[in-house]
């Protein structure tokens, strides 16, 4: 069975972009692949975050993974910090990376270009940590949204570099993005991606938003003055983004939605999508509440960490031997 590895940072509340770009892929693939999905909490402290908030986000994230349909019998679900080999391989990968290639990583480049202060060294070196997360498990594929594919390309380069230097050790993974929805955009500025850090909350639908509030966000989404419902991300990014959301959540192809709306207005389309979002969030949140109350999270994470540690420790022993740490 081929293997997939992916993770999400518990830095804020999970949003629709995370669901469509990443989690919906995890659910789809858990039947056919051996899946390792973790909470990337080592990555979360690359930006300042209170311990209390990190704990709450972590619990919410695992409950949402389960509520979305990840099945711990099929998928190994764990906390990154429960598997020490991530930090160990992260360091080896940091020492395999060149400063120049890390400076080219978009997230770091964007933040420094904006002249943001307080950028940590961890934010600079987090791509090699992410590379370690992936190759530790000999992943064949990494299901991610478009914004993460650059990091998976770096992972491939680092794995190859290590293999060339020390002999064959790591599998070279491939990024996997959805054909529709690899970049869900902000509802208020559809030229930008929907993001946890967006300061305008009306642009982002959180999975834990009140369903009525989320419906209102859809109704006030920015569109255009063209007035025709069609999928044209270049000229009609707002409408195209809404069509994508509706298509992924209902499994109806975009062309079919477009043909149903020939000659109709944006308001009608928004009404239908608002209802889709309302139903989706209502169902998801009732499952989420049941999971939080069930108290089963600790057991799921314990089981996941045991399996992940078994595989990761074997790999890190091999790496330590190759670089000369073991005598
Ligand atoms: P993170 O936490 O920023 O995002 C988690 C996943 O959600 C996807 N995503 C989106 N997809 C579509 N539209 C959007 N607007 C959108 N916003 C986010 C991301 O592409 C990602 O798949 N560095 C990673 C976490 C990580 C990781 C890993 C991922 C750490 N180690 C190893 C894969 C493998 C991150 O910050 O994702």
Indicate whether 271 belongs to any domain. Answer: yes
Phi, then psi, of 317 in degrees rounded to 5: -60, -40
Angstrom distance (rounded) from CA 156 to CA 178: 20
* CB contact at 8 A, 48 and 117: no
Run of H or E residues at 7: strand 3-8
Is 197 one of the annotated binding-site residues? yes
**Nearest residue to 181 (alpha-carbon basis) of 197, 194, 196, 200:** 194
| ipTM score | 0.98
pLDDT averaged over every residue in the chain? 96
For residues 93 and 166, state if they share a domain.
yes
Identify whether residues 55 and 108 lie together within a single domain. Answer: yes
* Residue 117 CA to its chain's centroid (Å): 25
Which residue out of 144, 156, 196, 312 has the highest number of ligand 1 atoms within 8 Å of its CB and is therefore the one to mutate?
Answer: 144
Structure token digits, residue 140: 């064949």
For residues 323 and 166, the answer to whether their CB atoms sit within 8 Å is: yes
For residues 271 and 302, state if they share a domain. no
**Annotated catalytic, 307?**
no
Q: How many domains does the chain have?
A: 2
Say if 65 falls within a structural domain: yes
**pLDDT band for position 116 (cuts 50, 70, 90):** confident
Are residues 163 and 60 part of one domain?
Answer: yes
User: Average pLDDT in the 232-242 region?
Assistant: 97
Specify whether 111 is catalytic: yes
**Distance of CA 143 from the midpoint of ligand 1 (Å):** 9
CATH number at residue 169: 3.40.50.620
Residues 58 and 154 occupy one common structural domain:
yes
The 3-state secondary structure of 262-289, one letter per residue: CCCCHHHHHHHHHHHHHHHHHHHHHHHH
**Mean pLDDT, residues 234-255:** 96
| pLDDT at position 117 over 90 | no
8 Å CB contact between 95 and 102: no
Domain span at 118: 3-177+295-323
Instruction: Locate the ligand 1 atom nearest the alpha carbon of residue 40 and give its number.
Output: 30
Residues 56 and 98 both lie in one domain: yes
User: For residue range 169-202, what is the model confidence (pLDDT) as tens digits?
Assistant: 999 999 999 888 899 999 999 999 998 766 778 9
Residue 22 Cβ contacting ligand 1 at under 6 Å: yes
Q: Considering the domain boundaries, does residue 192 fall inside one?
A: no
Judged by average pLDDT, the poorest of 55-64, 98-107, 125-134, 189-198 is 189-198
Q: Confirm or reject: Cβ of 12 under 6 Å from ligand 1.
A: no
For residue range 281-305, list pLDDT tens digits in order. Answer: 999 999 999 999 998 999 999 999 9
pLDDT score for 198: 61
């Amino acid at each position: 069975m081929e293997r997939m590895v992916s993770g999400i940072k518990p830095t804020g509340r999970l949003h629709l972009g995370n669901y469509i770009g990443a989690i919906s892929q995890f659910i789809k693939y858990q039947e056919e692949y051996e899946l390792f999905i973790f909470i990337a909490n080592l990555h979360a402290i690359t930006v300042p975050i209170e311990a209390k908030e990190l704990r709450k986000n972590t619990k919410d994230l695992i409950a949402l993974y389960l509520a979305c349909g990840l099945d711990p019998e099929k998928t190994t679900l764990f906390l990154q910090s429960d598997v020490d080999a991530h930090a160990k391989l992260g360091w080896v990968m940091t020492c395999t990376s060149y400063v120049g290639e890390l400076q080219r990583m978009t997230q770091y480049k964007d933040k420094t270009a904006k002249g943001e202060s307080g950028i940590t060294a961890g934010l600079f070196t987090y791509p090699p940590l992410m590379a370690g997360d992936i190759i530790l498990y000999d992943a064949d594929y990494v299901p991610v949204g478009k914004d993460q594919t650059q990091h998976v390309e770096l992972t491939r380069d680092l794995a190859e570099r290590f293999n060339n230097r020390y002999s064959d050790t790591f599998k070279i993974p491939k990024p996997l993005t959805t054909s529709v929805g690899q970049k869900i955009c902000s509802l208020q500025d559809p030229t930008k991606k929907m993001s946890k850090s967006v300061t305008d909350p009306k642009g982002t639908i959180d999975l834990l938003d009140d369903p009525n509030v989320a419906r209102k966000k859809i109704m006030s989404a920015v569109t255009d003055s063209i007035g025709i419902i069609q999928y044209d991300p270049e000229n009609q990014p707002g409408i195209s983004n809404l069509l994508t959301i509706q298509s992924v959540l209902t499994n109806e192809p975009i062309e079919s939605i477009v043909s149903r709306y020939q000659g109709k207005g944006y308001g009608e389309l928004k009404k239908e999508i608002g209802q889709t979002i309302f139903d989706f969030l209502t169902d998801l949140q009732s499952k989420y509440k049941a999971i939080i109350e069930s108290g089963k999270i600790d057991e799921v994470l314990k089981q996941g960490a045991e399996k992940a540690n078994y595989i990761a420790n074997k790999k890190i022993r091999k790496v330590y031997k190759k670089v000369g740490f073991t005598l």
